[in-house]
Each structure stands twice: as structure tokens, then as C-alpha cells.
Amino acid sequence: MAAMWAESVARAERENWGYQRLLQHLCESEEQDRRERKMQRLLKASGLPDGKTLGNLDEKLLPTKIQRLLPTLLEGHFVERAENLLAFGLPGRGKTHFLAALGRELILRHRYPVLFTPTFKLVQQLLVAKQQLRLDSELKRLDRYPIIILDDLGYVQQDRQEMEVLFTFLAERYERRSVLISSNLVFSKWDQIFKDPMTTRAAIDRLVHHAMILEFNGESVRAQKAQGREKGRGNSPGDTCGSTPSLTPAGVKDSVPPQVSPQPK
């Protein structure tokens, strides 16, 4: 209001505003400015990768079911219901770009606090917090985010301590906050993550109990774009849709997770 005062008063005099209209104009300008500043703070704190937006996401390269589901996801009601999104597929299928673009839109449209992080980074942060006897406070800090995007679950093989803090994190958010996960590992291979079969089943049950499973089972987006550029009809090299290139976990030959029946709690 202070920054706009002189300009607003001058305009009010030119256009013969009354005091009520001047005050309304100042309040509306203040409200708009606060919304914009909050949005910028949320974007800065989100950790979302630059360039992975809805604007440069080629929706035609997404599986048909995911194309149809996207408008519903953008409404954000799944966040209010604390539902999860589990994106499965081999490298280059667009999982990371899709989840990052969705997270950015949920900030822009609904002002939801979102945190994007590689899974290994979150696990290390939780492990350090546990060693310093402040795991509870770290979980409370993460609880401020109704949406946390875990990218590349399964790339880093966990030891038992790392597995335990990851399971604790997932259990803490169960039925209260949304987790969005991208993974190249199908459910049948999640014992590589959690080691113990019982812990693996418990983690899967909590995730799928209230979840939508997205299967990115088409061709590699990066490969399609490379072919398009060779034919003179591709996008610019910086306009990628896939996740950061990395090695596929050993033994992964498909991208469609088996159906797991949620267990009632």
C-alpha cells in the first residue's frame, strides 16, 4: 500500500474516486501483491527443477490414460484427500517431467506448498537427523508440505538404517499428506529398497491404499525427440520431457507394476 499510495491518490483525483473506492483499490493491490510474493516463495522453496513445466510438456507423448487424467489432477482434489501418485516406467518415459510440472501447477493454481527432492537426498537428510536425535523435528518440518515429490525411488540401494528412515517417513504421511513418487522399479522388486519382505509389503500397502498408479509404458521420450530432431521436426535440445539420465536398476525388464490389493488398516 505504501509503495502505491502516491500513484493511487493521483489516479483517484484524476478519476474522481471516493474514499471507499480508493481504499478498495489499495486493499486489492495489497492482496494481489501478497499472493504473488507467496507464490514466488513457494516456487523458490519447492526445489522443482527448472525447465520442467506444463508449458513444455508434450502431452501427446504421454500415455492416453495419463492425458485424460491430467485435468483432474490439476484440480488438486487428490491433495485434499491425501492421496498418492505413483509413476512407474523405464528411464526417459517422462515421469520426472510430469510430476515436476504437476507440482509447479499446484503451486501456481492452488498455492500448495510442494517439495521436490531426489529420494536419496531425502533419505540422507533423515538419516542425519536420526543420528542427531532430531528425526521427529525433521518429520514435522516436512509435514508442512502437503505434497512431497520423491524422484527416482529405487536407484540407490538402501542399507537397513536408510530403509528404516524411509519407511518411517512414508508411514508418518500415511492418510495425512500426499506423496508423489517416480520409480523405475516395479513393486515386485521393491525388496531391493526395503530389504525385509514384511517391511516391503507394509510400505507398498500404505502407498497404494489411497493412490493412483500412473504407468509410463510408451517409448522413450528422449529417443522420440532425438528422432524428431533428426527429421527436422523436433524441439530444442533443452526442451526435454524425461527424467535425468541414469542407469536402470539391474533386472528391470518392464514398467508396469503388479496389482497389489490394499490391506485394511
Per-residue confidence band for 233, with pLDDT thresholds at 50, 70 and 90:
low
pTM above the 0.85 mark? Answer: no
Residues 6+ apart with CB under 8 A from 53: 100, 101, 104
Return the percentage of the chain with pLDDT > 90, whole number: 65
pLDDT value, residue 176: 96
The 10 Å CB-count burial string (b at 16+, else e) for 226-237 is eeeeeeeeeeee
Asked if residue 25 has pLDDT above 80, the reply is yes
Please report the pLDDT score of residue 159 as a whole number. 81
Say yes or no to pLDDT of 118 above 80: yes
Q: How confident is the model at residue 197 (pLDDT cuts 50, 70, 90)?
A: confident
226 φ/ψ angles, rounded to the nearest 5 degrees: -65, -40
Q: Is 232 left (phi over 0), alpha (psi -120 to 50) or beta?
A: left
**Mean pLDDT for the chain?**
85
Contacts of 54 (CB under 8 A, 6+ apart): 101, 102, 104, 105
Q: Distance (Å, rounded) from C-alpha 86 to C-alpha 183?
A: 8
pLDDT tens digit sequence for 61-73: 899 999 999 999 9
Cross-sheet strand order for the sheet of 178-183: 114-118, 147-153, 178-183, 84-88, 211-215
The strand pairing partners of 179, in sequence order, are 148
User: Tell me, what's the pLDDT at 161?
Assistant: 87
> What pLDDT sits at residue 106?
97
Counting Cβ atoms within 10 Å, is residue 69 exposed (0-12), middle (13-18) or buried (19+)? Answer: middle
Q: 180: helix, coil or strand?
A: strand
Check if the beta carbon of residue 239 is closer than 8 Å to that of residue 55: no
Q: Is 222 left (phi over 0), alpha (psi -120 to 50) or beta?
A: alpha
Averaged pLDDT, 228-246:
50
Confidence of residue 232 (pLDDT cuts 50, 70, 90): low
pLDDT the model gives residue 92: 87
Does 241 score more than 60 pLDDT? no
Give the model's pLDDT for residue 253.
Answer: 40
CA atoms within 13 A on the CB side of 11: 10
- Output Rg (C-alpha) for the chain, integer angstroms: 22
Closest to 130 (Cα-Cα) out of 169, 85, 104: 169
Highest mean pLDDT among 160-164, 180-184, 228-232: 180-184
Residue 221 has what pLDDT? 62
What share of the chain in percent tops pLDDT 70?
80
Quick one: pLDDT at residue 265? 43
Task: Assess whether pLDDT exceeds 80 at residue 239.
Answer: no
Per-residue pLDDT at 162: 87
Note whether 112 and 147 are within 8 A (CB). yes
Average pLDDT over residues 44-50: 96
**In degrees to the nearest 10, what's the CA dihedral of 47, 63, 211, 127?**
-40
How far, in Å, CA of 34 to CA of 186, rounded?
43
Interval 91-114 mean pLDDT: 95
What is residue 256's predicted lDDT score, i.e. its pLDDT? 42
